[in-house]
Amino acid sequence: MTSIATAGASVTEQHAAIAGARPWQRLVLLAVGLLVALGLPWFVYPPVAMDIAAWALFAVALDLLLGYCGLLSFGHAAFWGGSAYATGLIAIHFGVPFPVAVFGGALFAMLLALPIGYLSVKRSGIYFAMVTLAFAQMLFFIANQASALTGGENGLQGVPRSFFGIEAVETDSFFFYYAALPIILLGMWAAWRIVHSPFGRVLVAIRDNAPRARALGYDVERYKLIVFVLSAGLSGLAGGVFAVSHGFVALPELHWATSGEVVLMTVLGGIGTLWGGVIGAGLIVLLADYLASSGFDGIGIVTGGVFVTVVLLFRRGIWGTARHLWLSRRKPT
């Protein structure tokens, strides 16, 4: 918690630096990001590339809540996994194209976030984190017990990739990646638009000084609830794509460890940067895939060691530190 708070304290400084960034630099970053996204399945096994994209959106969704509103959630697996189950059930029982099922899952995640968020945003700090964790574990227990619907410990199997009868997309992971990528990019754009809107500025004000924002007339709890629901919806988009990509939804998608993993990715890349979540997700997914392919069982030990090293050496995260160093060079001496 201390390292997260320290990293979060530098977010205001980072936003001030962004204001001085030149438009052409932003366009170059965007172009590079798009090229990487489009070329990823050519250099990485396509299912792994899809995992990176889904986890990247999940990390960006959490960063929207953590980096820009200062709310650390340990229960976001409820929305990732809840949407995955909802997407799978819609795809199985209604036979709709997978984008429809994914958006249906995201809607379910947002509806689920309403009561959870309403009760959680009344707390802050570690209390908020623990309340969200408790709700997520409740959903995990319900999914485990409702085996007739969710498959219980065996998971929800046979999730189809229906896509308007286009066989290449439905059977080949390479083409499926490009069919699902627009959903991921749409979620990324939505997060960017939220952050750079007047609503996003209010969120930063609430994060920095909630009593002052309340004194200025802003309904702090209402803003927190709205961003909580929006973050859940983006997490739901990511979870739905992940479920369709694998054709299977496992019970651990709702487990607290999944929430912890996305927090690790976000902090590793840099809180309050959006791009940091993408980098953190790519690093962790690629590292885990490499270690698993090598037959190494202690993946958590390695990823945990990487996390500790980055937090100790780069308090702003990988992307946050790199951007800070770059912008420092531009300052007149």
The string of pLDDT tens digits covering residues 175-213 is 999 999 999 999 999 999 999 999 999 999 999 999 999
Percentage, residues of the chain above pLDDT 90: 66
* Distances 144 to 78, 93, 132, 162 between C-alpha atoms, Å: 13, 20, 19, 27
Q: In a 10 Å sphere around its CB, with 0-12 CB exposed, 13-18 middle and 19+ buried, how is residue 110 labelled?
A: buried
Q: What is the pLDDT of residues 209-246, one digit of tens each?
A: 999 999 999 999 999 999 999 999 999 999 999 999 99
| pLDDT tens string 246-258 | 999 999 999 998 9
pLDDT bracket for residue 1 (50, 70, 90): very low
> H helices of the chain, where?
2-9, 11-19, 23-43, 46-69, 77-94, 98-120, 125-145, 147-150, 167-171, 173-195, 198-208, 210-215, 220-246, 256-269, 275-293, 299-313, 317-330
Q: Is 22 helix (H, G, I), strand (E, B) or coil?
A: coil
Return the closest-CA partner of residue 190 out of 241, 238, 247: 238
Residue located via tokens 């809180």: 271
Check: pTM over 0.75? Answer yes or no: yes
Whether the CB-CB separation of 205 and 218 falls below 8 Å is answered with yes
168 Cβ neighbours under 8 A, 6+ residues apart: 175
Does residue 40 register a pLDDT over 50?
A: yes
Please say if the pLDDT value at position 19 is more than 50. no
Residue 211 and residue 67: Cα distance in Å, rounded? 18
pLDDT tens digits for 313-330? 777 888 877 777 776 776
